[in-house]
Chains A and B, each alone.
Chain A
Amino acid sequence: MKLKKEYFEDVKFFRNRASAFWAMVLILTLVSFPFLFKTYYLSILNLMALNVIVALGLNILVGNTGQISLGHAGFVAIGAYTTAFLLQVGIPFVFTLILAGLITALVGAFLGIPSLRLEGPYLAIVTLGFGLAVMVIIGRMDVFGGRMGMSIPRIKLGWTGLKYDEALYYVFLLITIFMIFFAQNILKSRIGRAFSAIRDSDIAASVIGINLSYYKTLSFAISAFFAGIAGCLWALYLQFLTPGAFTLMMSVLSLATVVLGGLGSVTGSVLGAVVMTFLNLQLDKIVDLPVIGDLISGFSNAFMNPSGIANIKWVLTGLILIAVILFEPLGINGLWIRVKRYWRLWPF
């Protein structure tokens, strides 16, 4: 087995040529996607891109720093509503995107302050309360259209010479790739290692000279920055915002995404978000499946309420979450690592 000998090898972005090659293939496929498939699939990919960004941010907080957040929908909402407001005022999209991220990061840093003294369930309840409070407050503010919601103007993408949907897809793709690079680089820097030290033992980390209050606040801020960027894209994706869009369920599902993908790994966040989004869309159509669908609808008609069959989605999502924790606590990424190790060491 090849071992790392230098520091540079540890902080390299791609582990080897093969992984760089496959990453390039993936990016090229995604770039040529609009020319190959229907526009409907573009909207699914956009949704995946959004969830990837939220998951990246949440994973930095939960997986790498070991803090718990049950209020990430609140951050996404702040990003989305900032975007809506700034775009209506007439500020160009690039600045809106950055501002949405920065303002959300500021709120995140503010929420990070109580996290200095709290942990575990106590932190969970504070973040949960934050997520709910944001939605109630936004729902009452007339600037944001109150409960009626507000529509988001389309951004100017005519200069690209593409259809709006396709141009928007490229915007999403570009931002997502950039955010993946950003997350990976943060985690491989001094900051990322400080986060991991805090996760493993915060007292030990402070003993070796890591400023706990600085890094915990920073972790919240970075995580919120990602959520703010994702919120900005949500606003563009939905084109119409209502406070009901950012519920507690969204926070829970984001956390579920991170756990499903694999805690503390960028690959895990990406995989988790892609799989979770796909499942969320496909489980709605489970009744249309050839054999299982008939079984389920038969069971449903016999014992359950046929009108409630859409709820099977929640049952399956819940079971998947429980199964992940029971059988593979590191999620899809952990599974992937195990498969790789198995083949590398093969006859043994």
Chain B
Amino acid sequence: MITQLLINSLVAGSIYALIALAMNLIYKASEIPNFAQGEMSMFSTYITFLLLTTFGYPFSIALTGTLLFAFLLGFIFEFLFIRRAKEPNLLGFIIITLGFQLVLFGLAGWKFGSDQRTFSLPFSETEILIRTESFVLTEHNLASIIIAIFVMAGLYILLNHTKLGLAMRASQQNVKAAKFNGIPTDRILGISFGISSVVGAIAGILVAPVATLDPTMMWDPLIKGFAAAVLGSLESLPGAVIGGLLLGLVENLFGYYVSLEFKSIVAFGIIMLVLFVRPSGLFQKHYIRKV
């Protein structure tokens, strides 16, 4: 049984980690906790659904289309709303993201109806890959883990070994200095939003077959992903991954051994405890703020 629990928590953890990564990418670049992240993923997943089912394109084209759409969605969100904010402060940004979340939620409900859709991917969640006495591994489980690892590796390479990644890191560290060195920091921020949205969309596509596709699909995963990001510190990308995996593990162990009913809120108990000891998450070395 323990093997099965570990597999489940790894799968849940990878999805949380992806959402946490998406949040951290934006938070590091702009100190905005993006509450619209979940709805952006949900909307992109609907685009996949539209391309796959309504237009009947093969999966590869649908996926490419979705990722392109997700990138544009993030970029346009930053361009239209975040960049235009007057006297921006944290609360203002939170309200903008919440507002955008409501807009996307409403649009999705309006366009696609609030009825739940079924959604099928090339890797099905019912097709069993390996079955032994102690555990069952479905195609979807394996695919989730592998895709999450690919995305993480891709992000690592992008951030550490490309010119774009260097520019992104530079503008994360010091916007003014980056600007003086000729980096178009506004555009870089837009691209960060776009990349984050793409990562979120991948998480959404992975969530959709398990939870049925409807406008509220990403609420729970978003909150868990945000919690994972906070757990590992919003400033650190490895922290996000570890936070996500940790959260998946704790949640599944708690759900099995203690109480399934309270599984959904145990995350917050742990986060409160962790933040009580380390106010900026587990992987933040020290916390400096200007007066």
Question: Interface residues, chain A, CB within 8 Å of chain B?
Answer: 62, 68, 114, 117-118, 120-122, 124-126, 128-130, 132-133, 136-137, 140, 201, 203-204, 248, 252, 255-256, 259, 263, 300, 303-305, 307-322, 324-327, 329
Which of A124, A125, A132, A317 has its CB near the most chain B CB atoms (within 10 A)?
A125
Q: Given contacts A117-B279, A315-B102, is CB(A132)–CB(B268) below 8 Å?
A: yes
A326 in complex: contacting residue of B85, B223, B280, CB < 8 Å: B85
- Which of B27, B104, B269 interacts with A121 by CB under 8 Å? B27
Q: Is the CB of B114 within 8 A of A68?
A: no
Q: Closest CB-CB distance, B290 to chain A, in whole Å?
A: 9
B256 part of interface (Cβ distance < 8 Å): no
Minimum CB–CB distance for B32 against chain A, Å: 9
**Chain B interface (Cβ < 8 Å from any Cβ of A):** 27, 31, 33, 81, 84-87, 90-92, 94-96, 98-114, 215, 219, 223, 226-227, 230, 234, 261-262, 264-265, 267-269, 271-272, 275-276, 279-281, 291
**In the complex, what residues of B have CB within 8 A of residue A122's CB?**
230, 234, 275, 279-281
Q: Which residue of B lies closest to A319 (CB)?
A: B103
Judge whether B106 and A313 touch: CB under 8 Å. yes
B247 to chain A, nearest CB (A): 12
A319 to B113, CA, bound (A): 20
Contact A307-B113, Cβ < 8 Å, known A124-B33, A329-B87 = yes
Give the Cβ gap from A315 to chain B, nearest Cβ, in Å.
4
A132 to B95, CA, bound (A): 19
Per a CB cutoff under 8 Å, which of A68, A117, A204, A325 touches B275?
A117
CB distance from B14 to the nearest CB of A (A): 20
Question: Can you list 19 residue pairs at the A/B interface with Cβ under 8 Å?
Answer: A117-B275, A122-B275, A126-B271, A129-B223, A129-B265, A132-B264, A133-B265, A133-B269, A248-B219, A252-B102, A256-B95, A259-B91, A300-B110, A305-B110, A311-B106, A311-B107, A317-B106, A322-B99, A329-B92
Which interface residue of A256, A314, A320 has the most chain B CB atoms within 10 A?
A314
Closest to A248 in B: B219
**Residues of B contacting A305 in the complex (Cβ-Cβ under 8 angstroms):** 110-113
Please report whether the interface of chain A is mostly helix, strand, loop or mixed according to DSSP: helix
Contact indicator A308/B95 (Cβ below 8 Å): no
Is the CB–CB distance between A318 and B103 below 8 Å? Answer: yes
A323 CA / B131 CA spacing, docked (Å):
54
Cα of A126 to Cα of B92 in the assembled complex, Å:
19
In addition to A125-B227, A125-B230, 20 A-B residue pairs with Cβ atoms within 8 Å of each other are A114-B276, A118-B279, A121-B90, A121-B230, A122-B230, A124-B94, A129-B223, A136-B265, A300-B110, A308-B109, A311-B106, A311-B107, A314-B106, A318-B98, A319-B99, A321-B98, A322-B99, A325-B95, A326-B81, A329-B87
Bound Cα distance A329, B87 (Å)? 8
User: B272 — which chain A residues lie within 8 A by C-beta?
Assistant: 114, 126, 129
For residue A300, which residues in chain B have a CB less than 8 angstroms away from its CB? 110
Q: Of A311, A314, A315, A321, which one neighbours B95 at CB under 8 angstroms?
A: A321
- Whether the pair A314, B261 counts as a contact (CB closer than 8 A) is no
B103 touches A129 (CB 8 A): no
Q: Given that A62-B91, A121-B234 are known contacts, is A325 also in contact with B110, CB under 8 Å in the complex?
A: no
B81 lies within 8 A of A322 (CB):
yes
Closest residue of B by beta carbon distance from A66: B91
Query: What separation, in Å, do the CA atoms of A318 and B97 have in the docked complex?
Result: 9
Report B-chain residues with C-beta under 8 Å of the C-beta of A255.
Answer: 95, 98
**A-B pairs, 10 with minimum CB distance:** A129-B268, A314-B106, A318-B102, A321-B99, A311-B109, A315-B106, A318-B103, A121-B33, A322-B99, A117-B279
**How far in angstroms is the closest Cβ of chain B from A191?**
21
The residue from B102, B104, B114 contacting A317, defined by CB atoms under 8 A apart? B102
Q: Please report the C-alpha to C-alpha distance between residue A21 and residue B271 in the assembled complex, in whole angstroms.
A: 51
Contacts of B105 on A, CB cut-off 8 Å? 311, 314, 318
A137, A310, A326: which contacts B86 (Cβ < 8 A)? A326
Q: Are A309 and B90 in contact (CB under 8 A)?
A: no
- Provide the bound-state CA to CA distance between A201 and B230, in Å: 24
Contact yes or no, B103 A315, CB < 8 A: yes
Given known A-B contacts A62-B91, A140-B261, A255-B95, A201 and B291 have beta carbons under 8 A apart: yes
A320: B residues at CB distance < 8 A: 99
Task: Tell me the minimal C-beta distance from B279 to chain A in angstroms.
Answer: 4
A residues less than 8 Å from B86 (CB atoms): 325-327, 329
Smallest CB separation, B281 vs chain A (Å): 8
B102 near A321 with CB under 8 A, answer: yes
List A contacts of B84 (CB < 8 A): 326
Cα separation A146 to B269 with both chains bound (whole Å): 21
Chain B residues with CB under 8 A of A303? 111
Closest residue of B by beta carbon distance from A133: B265
Query: Which residue of chain A is the closest to B80 with respect to CB atoms?
Result: A322
A246 vs chain B, min Cβ distance (A): 14
Q: Which of chain A's residues have a CB closer than 8 A to the CB of B275?
A: 114, 117-118, 122, 126
Q: Which residues of A contact B107 (CB under 8 A)?
A: 311, 315
Which residues on the A side are within 8 Å of B103 (C-beta)?
Answer: 314-315, 318-319, 322
Q: How far is the CA of A308 from the CA of B141 in the complex (A)?
A: 33
In the assembly, what is the distance between CA of A239 and CA of B15, in Å?
41
Q: Return the chain B residue nearest A136 by Cβ.
A: B265
Determine the residue in chain A with the shortest Cβ distance to B267.
A129
Question: Would you call A304 and B279 a contact (CB within 8 A)?
Answer: no
Cα distance A315–B100 when bound, in Å? 8
Given A314-B105, A321-B98, decide whether A308 and B279 contact each other with a Cβ distance below 8 A.
Answer: no
How long is the Cα–Cα vector from A140 to B104 in the complex, in angstroms?
32
Q: B236: shortest Cβ distance to chain A, in Å?
A: 14
Residues of chain B contacted by A137 (CB below 8 angstroms): 262, 265
User: Do B90 and A120 have beta carbons less than 8 Å apart?
Assistant: yes
